């Protein structure tokens, strides 16, 4: 069984979400069925895209929630139904020993997730973390542990080269 975890941006555009979904499907497609085990904190954005792909490929899902209030907080978001559906399809769910969600709880959940995987997929634009527990922190921790990390992010589209208008005749 290959145990693959994910970290990534919570806010992604629809175009990036579609690209990431295609890329994750291609990447994970070689490990379909019971050999594929996904580990995620199930945050909105990258985590949920990953979970959907793992389940679509008939893999199993393990969820590590950052705090006891996390599911209730997610129930108040505009993607509560997606969160509940994915959480209900998880083979196992563990909640970190924090009463309330915080940056430290997010980092602890990510560290637990890293301890349970063989590979980290980072849906990440490569920018440094703005706050504790952001994607760059999780990637740095994985690299410190010598855990393989694969970045999944579309290459920037180059700006079009200006074309000179034809001069007068």
Q: Is the pLDDT of residue 131 over 90?
A: no
Q: Is the pLDDT of residue 104 over 80?
A: yes
Q: What is d(CA 49, CA 137) in angstroms, rounded to the nearest whole number?
A: 20
Q: What is the predicted pLDDT for the residue at 167?
A: 46
Q: Is the pLDDT of residue 57 over 90?
A: yes
- CATH numbers and ranges of domains, the chain: 2-151 (3.40.50.450)
Q: Is the pLDDT of residue 166 over 90?
A: no
Going from the C-alpha of 154 to that of each of 23, 31, 85, 145, 151, the distances in angstroms are 9, 22, 28, 26, 10
- Contact yes or no for 134/18 (Cβ under 8 A): no
Which pTM value belongs to this model? Answer: 0.89
Backbone CA torsion sign across 24, 28, 32, 35: negative
Q: How confident is the model at residue 162 (pLDDT cuts 50, 70, 90)?
A: low
Q: How confident is the model at residue 169 (pLDDT cuts 50, 70, 90)?
A: very low
Instruction: Please list, in sequence order, all residues whose beta carbon lies within 8 angstroms of the beta carbon of residue 26, skipping any fewer than 6 positions away.
Output: none
């Amino acid at each position: 069984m290959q145990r693959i975890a994910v970290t990534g941006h919570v806010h992604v555009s629809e175009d990036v979400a579609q690209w990431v979904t295609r890329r994750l499907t291609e990447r994970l497609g070689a490990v379909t069925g019971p050999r594929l085990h996904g580990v995620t904190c199930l945050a909105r954005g990258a985590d949920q895209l990953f979970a959907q792909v793992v389940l679509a490929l008939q893999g199993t899902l393990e969820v590590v929630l950052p705090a006891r209030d996390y599911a209730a907080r997610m129930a108040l978001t505009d993607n509560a139904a997606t969160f509940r559906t994915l959480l209900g399809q998880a083979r196992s769910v563990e909640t970190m020993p924090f009463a309330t969600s915080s940056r430290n709880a997010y980092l602890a959940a990510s560290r637990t997730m890293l301890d349970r995987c063989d590979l980290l997929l980072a849906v990440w634009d490569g920018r440094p973390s703005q706050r504790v527990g952001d994607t760059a922190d999780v990637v740095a921790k994985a690299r410190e542990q010598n855990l393989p990390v694969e970045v999944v992010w579309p290459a920037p589209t180059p700006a079009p080269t200006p074309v000179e208008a034809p001069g007068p005749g």
